[in-house]
Each structure stands twice: as structure tokens, then as C-alpha cells.
Structure 1
Amino acid sequence: MTKNSTSEPTNTKPEVQDLTSPDSSKKPTALEDDADIYTRRNVPVSEKQKWNELNRSQKWQYFKDYYLLKVIVTVIAVAFLCNVLWETFGPQIDTVYYGAVLYDDIDDEKLKELETAFSEYLNISTKKQRVTIDDNFNFTNNSTALSGEEKLTTYMYAEQVDTITVGAEEFAAMSYNGIFKDLDVILPEDLKSALSEYFVTGTVEDYADTEFIMGIDLSKCEKYQSLSPYVENPVIGIAYNSQHVENTIAYLRYLFDLTED
């Protein structure tokens, strides 16, 4: 009897994809390789493109957020540097006459006109030299700026002041403290003769018994009164340490329309 051979069941394993093969290097996906999501994912957006996509208000906000502070700092730094360079290497202007006007408030435009006119009288080059008539002295106590006393003291100490114009009462006090030169010694004879009726005398602390010619009354000086000063009886005196006595004498000639003999 022939034994019938029966087929035994065979164990079959499912095919496993070989991930190491060249064809399996990419993860299976439902998208094609050239899908748009892949082409745009890692493309950087340029600053110019970002800027073009913004509206006007967004552009201004973007500028403020990223550039405004830098621009301000740069402008300040450049301005400071330019100022330092100009002060260091720029043309130096020499003050050939400095007149201080105290306790008065004269129109700035009129002061400028007087400075210009006297500069022309001296025949100076305004690119290299200048005339200054300064009434910017604050004698009130409600300001944090340099006070009038401090400014005048500083300028006097630095020998920058040539004349001081002030009311008669204040002039007498300053004269007593030795602020002014004796005009009898300083003025030429022709000027003393022409201005004798305007002389203001005063005493000095160390010579209390002696009268000196300390100032010139400007209350009847037409050119000075054309400035419309508030002080009713202004008196001008030459500072004891004036460095421009010749120009100061010329200023008196100019004010009173006196020619040099």
C-alpha cells in the first residue's frame, strides 16, 4: 500500500523592505518629491523682500524698532566730532573788544547792529576778529544758569572784559571796589577835553579821600540811547585789566562821534 504523501504547511514571512538599499533612502510620503512645500521651506527671505511686503505704517514701525536709535546715536556722535574738530582746527576768532552791559535788557537786533557798525569803524576782518557787546547777565535767583555775578567775575578773572556799562548807583559801588581804570591816566588829552562834561568821578576803597575820573555818563549819548536801554543813567567805565585799551578808547570816540586828532 502506497503511503500518500501529504503536503505540510509552509511558514511564509512577509517581505521586509530593506531600508539600507539605495531605493529606500527616502521616507515614504504621499507628496511628490518636487512638491511646493519642499521648495519653499528653507528659502530665506531677504530684508528687501520683507520691506517690500510691508505697508507704510509697518515700514515706519520697522524703522523705529531696528534703525531709529542707531541713526540718532550716529548723528549725535558725528555732530560732536565735527564740533570738536572745528574748535580744534577751525579758524580762531579773536575778540578785539568786549563790552559788558549789566542790569539792562537791550534788543538783540540793535546790539548786533552796534557790533557790526563798530567792527566797520575799527576796519577789522570779521572772519578773524570780532566785537562783542554782551547784556546777557542774569542777576535773578530763579535760574540754574551761571549768575550775572559769577559770569562777570569769571570774565574779569580771564581778562576778557574791556568796558562795563551799568546804572549810576551800581557804578559807584563797583568803582569803590576798584573795578575801573582812572580815565585821567588812560584817555588822550583831546578825548578828555571833549568828554569832560560827561565825566563821572568816584572814590576807591584804598583812597577814600580822593576823587578819580572813573566813568563816562551815557545818558545824553545819542548812539547809545538809540539802543533804547532801560537803565536811565548808564555809565561806562574801562575795566582795570582791559587788554584792548586802544579799541576801548576807539569805542568812546565812536559813541560820541569824535575823530582822533
Structure 2
Amino acid sequence: MFMPKETIEKTKLDDDALLYQKRDEKKDREKFKELDGKGKLQFFRDYYLLKVVIVVIAAVLLGSVIYTVVKPKPEAALNVAVVNDQWEEQALEDFKTSLQDYLGLDASKNTIEVMDALWLNDDGSDMATRTKLMVNISAGMVDVMIADQEQFLSYAQQGLFVDLTEELPADLYQKLNGQILTSGVIEEEGQEPTGEYSVGISLENSQLYGSLTNQTEPMYIGITTSTKNMEDAVKTLQYLFQ
């Protein structure tokens, strides 16, 4: 088969380059054997150190990427929703760290999520926020909810909070006597609420909560019926009323 002159010349150049490379590598090996310890170290630095450094850096970067992708992601051990209140960023971080220690959680495996600044009103402009909150509650992603009395009772009447008489330790419930918020539940639309349940606790006497907020209106805390972390939710109430 006929090969163009340019192809023949290029092939010859490639073959010559490979031959020279093999000769150089052979000479390098022979030269390396003849060197003493100090000379071998300098030879390594001159000819191979940069290549080794590049390979090591590439391996570290690849390993870091793989670890980031495959390492277990921390799971939320507790989700808190805060309606009509917003906490200072540093106070929020301090609260999460302190509560994490109180609950005995491993920060590398579990997190505490606080969804604050959920502003609700009665003029209909808060539909997106209400939808976001209800989606999270329905998905079991709100364990504890804090809200002003009006909004808290509106959700309580929908049956969204547990009866605290059934969940709180007797000594804690007795300690909070006089701070309990009760509510009935609307069984059918258009009807008055029926029954009377202990759905929330006033945070007015919680010094810890007072350090988190500038809210002057009384706020209440309750545990949602969709919680997947009842034990930690109860402990959170204990923590706030130490």
C-alpha cells in the first residue's frame, strides 16, 4: 500500500524519538547506579521529584472528591419551625450547638435544623410560606414548632400538635403548670373546636428562649403529630425550661 512521503517521514521521526527516549532512559538508569547516596538523592530531586509531587497532589485531590461524594451525610435529628420570629444568626448557631450537646448528638452524624422567619399573616400574602410549612409538617420534617398564640392555635385546631399530657414526663408537666396552652380540634369544617388538649407551652418564662429573640409578643412551643423524633422533641422542651 502506498504511503505519502509526509507520513513516512513522520513515522520515522516518531520511531527515532522513541528510540532516543529508550536510550536516554537506559543511560539514566546506568548513571543512577553509579552515583553514591547523596548523588542519587540529588538525581531524584532533579529528574523525578516534580513528577512525584504532581502524582501525589492529583491522588489527594481525587481522594478528596471521592470522599466528599461517598461519605455519609449528617441526618437531621431534630427540625424546628419558628413562625413570626427570627433569631440572630450567632444566637441561632449557639442554640443548635448547645442543644446538640444536651441531646448527646454526634455532630458528624446528626444535625439540628431551624427554619425561622416563617412570617404568617391574615391578608393572604403568605400563601407560599404557609404551603412550605404544611409541606414540611406533612413530610415529618417539623418536630417542634414555635409560634405566636394566634397562629399556634390556628394549627392546633387542625390537630397538628400532640397532647402534651401524654408525652411530657409528669414532673416536667407539673413544673410547667400555669404555662400550658389548651385547645380543641375542629373535626369538620365549619364546626366549633371540640375537646380540650394541652397543645403548647408559653415560652414567656424560658430564659433560654428570651436570649434568642427580640419578640415581645408571647410565643408558644409544641410538638407536631408528624414528628419522627418524639424523644428528642420532648428533650428539647426540657432543655428550654431548665
TM-score when scaled to structure 1?
0.61
Q: d(CA) in 1 for partners of 2:93 and 2:128? A: 23
Distance of 1:126 and 1:132 partners within structure 2:
12
Matched, 1:95 2:95: no
Equivalent residue of 2:136, what SS?
Answer: helix
Structure 2 partner of 1:222: 207
Give the Å deviation of 1:181. 0.8
CA RMSD of aligned residues (A): 2.4
| Aligned-partner residue type, residue 228 of structure 1 | T
State whether structure 2 residue 165 is matched by structure 1 residue 184: yes
| 1:241 maps onto 2:241 in alignment | no
The 1-side partners of 2:217 and 2:117 are apart by 18
Contact 2:202 2:218 in 1 (8 A): yes
Q: Tell me the equivalent position of 2:196.
A: 211
- Residues 1-261 of structure 1: matches in 2 within 5 Å? 86=68, 89-139=70-120, 147-206=128-187, 208-230=193-215, 232-257=217-242
Structure 1 residues without counterparts, runs of 5 or longer: 1-81
Structure 1 moving runs of 4+ over 4 Å: 138-143
The answer to whether the 8 Å contact 1:167/1:231 transfers is no
Where do 5+ consecutive residues of structure 2 fail to align? 1-64
Map of 2:3 onto structure 1: none
Distance 2:178 2:125 in 1: 40
Q: Report percent identity of matched pairs.
A: 26
SS at match of 2:87: coil
CA distance in 2, matches of 1:89, 1:139: 39
Which of the pair is proportionally richer in helix?
2
Corresponding residue for 2:13?
none
